[in-house]
Structure 1
Amino acid sequence: MDSLLTLRYTMAAERTGGVLCPVGPVWRRLRTTNPEIELYQPDNSHPSMAGTLASAYSFYSVFFKDDVMNLEITTPVLPEQAVAIRNAVQEVVADSLSAAYRYDKVLRADFIGDSGKTSTDTVHFTNLSRHASGYVWDFGDGTTDTAASVAHIFPSAGEYTVCLTAYNSCDTAKICQTVIIGVSSVDEAHSRQLAGYPNPCSNVCYIPSVASGTPYRIINALGVEQLRQTTSGSTGIVVSHLAPGLYFVMIEQPDGQKQVIPFSKW
């Protein structure tokens, strides 16, 4: 029965762009792992308090994308049964969040910037937003635009916070990214440039002669910030999460000097 319900709800979600909550699979897991928990009332039609609790935890996990293990709800359900229900929800729902949202039409704002050459003042921004009907760009230099994807000319070299607001009839969403214009200024810093090793690196890049706690940022070849952090005692920068390519570590020393260290990730 729950398999048929799952199929029908999946078909409905696909047609309407809805979000799926895997209550049926959670119940199936409980019937397998904890058959002593009665999920139905005596009429075998309506859910018992335990069955309702399983549904409630499932909906909470899907809607808030949050851990339910420490979420306690006061109910007549025995404490040990409540723990078993939370365990089942955690195992089933946490593993299927992407499936739960595969048909949703939740508004999302997203974009990437491609300057072509790192020294250029023109950046092409590609809009990756979903389920939006309109857009507002704020380029951080006092100018805006309402096109979907745009090519923008920045007035001068420097750091700009570019924000994209996407909207539809129900909601608005906003995302901001830092864009560095004139990354060719790396050449001007070579006279006082530090060297990182190994280069290329795959997991950790080490930078000697940098004090622990020194702020640094990693930007890609397009000038988009990838990471903002402070150095640890080992001056090792973890880069395993970065995609292969060319990056720059931008360090601001305690005396105010800014140094740029290029490295390749493979």
Structure 2
Amino acid sequence: MVRGIFIAVISVFFLNTQAQTTKKVLFLGNSYTYVNDLPKMVADLAKSLGDTVIYSSITPGGQRLSGHAGSSATYTRFKQNTWDYIVLQDQSQLPSFPISQVRKDVFPYAKQLCDSIHALPGCAKPVFFMTWGRENGDQQNCKFYSPLCTYEGMQLELRKNYLTMANTNNAFASPVGMVWRDVRKRWPTIDLYNPDGSHPAKQGSYVAACTFYAVFFGKSPVGASYKAGLAASQADSIQKSAAAIVFDSLKTWNIKYDTLKPSFTYTVKNDTVTFTYTGSLVKNLHWDFGDGNTSSATSPTHIYGVSDTFEVVLTVDNKCLTANTMVRIVVNTKRPSVRADFNTTLMYDTVEFQYSGTLADSVKWDFGNGKTDTGFVVTYIYGVADTFLASVKAFYQGAEDSLSKSVITTLYESNVSVQGNMNLSEFDLSIFPNPVENKIGIKSEENMISIEILDLNGRMLKRYEKIESDSYQINSGFLNSGTYIVQVETENQRITRRIIKK
């Protein structure tokens, strides 16, 4: 049966090149590529969208992959340029034949060509040209293989086998045949075929051109001003179909574009800058520090030695791609300085410390009693009357400075009437927690009669009466952050304490 399948052959040859840049493409095919000059149509379409294509083609009529694989001209052309893509198209019927014949007459030569492409010194990517089924199926071979009896059956066989070739050979599949199928379904009045029902009309070649543009550049052909002489409505419809089919199923077509995303962080200390690469995996890095010096290290440190602004350019590459990124960096040979100073606000044994020195990144306080804190404004309760040597240390870009001042604290003295042998030092009154967050807990040695909350100016904010208990809890929601006075009256005395509300 297989030997009886008939393949029509028309001998033609085409070769053309254009001296432009962006994508370099070699087309290996036959009359399906030659008719209507598909390579030039792809280049003209790309140009109208701001892109360019250098192309060359080998397109004898009826040529098979086996013919290309056995021709020395093929391998000579492989080496004549550093191609981005090499398009592989088999004879129009053969990939739709029974799988046993395809495995014998198609797949081995697809592999041979792809292996040769992958072995090239550049980064050429094989792209299989998934062709279209004949307008009414392959009636010559229908009796030998039933899927060929209809367009739909033939198209799905072509799809299946071209995808197999792409997936098993690390290649892209350009789904021209599936875009062709979509246009037939959605816009049946667009005639894609020549009168022979096989070769493409100009509309059919435009389907292929739009599909290849999307595959090569990873961009939509929609909006291209180049319409190959077609009616605008037809060209626009074909553009939309190509974009929809290609980008809706990139994974299906085994299309994955290589990308490089260079990036880095840096830290500046005077005239010394440390760089750290944070981008995608690459083979080589090249740092241009903007002062004539360079490095290939992953995380270099560079000393400029002068105060100035420099443009640092990082260029990265792998086998196939190159990319760069630039940052402007200001360096200063003058060492930074800082002068520490502070002010204080005292209320008995409670002191608010306010940093008042020059610009600082951070400060650290030493209260003179072994306790420390950080922050530009802090409040500390000493709890005793005494003299303390408090200090602040300021830090700024590696520089530091410190200053000490004496702080004299006192205790608040209230009128206390004491019965019996009780005195102030013996009386136990606890306020917790302090600093206060949401609630104030008060525990007294004696039953409490009243509690007053005052601000530092002595203004009463709240008064609680008839407590008659040795413990009490107050909701502190009415207090803003700051320092306050709590006065507790018991049966024998009045006690005063300070609290801090966070």
Which structure has more relative contact order (CA 8 Å, sep 6+)? It is 1
Q: Which structure has the larger Rg?
A: 2
Q: Which has more strand, going by share of residues?
A: 2
TM-score with structure 2 setting the length: 0.29
